[in-house]
Amino acid sequence: MANKTKAAPALLPFPVIAAAINGDADAINAVVKYYAGYIAALSTRQLYDENGTPFLGVDEEMRRRLETKLITRILNFKLIV
C-alpha cells in the first residue's frame, strides 16, 4: 500500500504579504483567497432548511466577519524588515 501524504500548500510570497500590508487591494484579495478555505471551515455551522431539516453549511455572516477581521489585521500589521 502506497503512502499517500498530502502536500503542504504553497506559502504566500513575501512580496505579496508586504504589498497587502501597504494596502494594495490585489495583494489583500490574494491573502483573503489564500485563507478562504480555512475561513469557510471556521464558519461552517449546522443550519436548517425551510422544512427544519438540519444540514452543514457556511454561515455567510460569520464568513464575512472573519474576512473583515483578517483584512483589518493585515492593514494594522507592522512589518519590520
* pLDDT tens per residue, range 17-47: 999 999 999 999 999 999 999 999 999 999 8
pLDDT of residue 2: 61
Helix, strand, coil shares of the chain, percent, nearest 5, are: 50, 10, 35
Q: Quote the pTM value.
A: 0.80
Q: How far is CA 42 from the centre of its chain?
A: 9
9-42 in b/e burial notation, b at 16+ Cβ within 10 A? eeeeeeebbebbbeeeeebbebbbebeeeebeee
Which helix (H) or strand (E) is 15 found in, with range? helix 14-21
pLDDT of residue 8: 73
Grid cell locating 54: 438540519
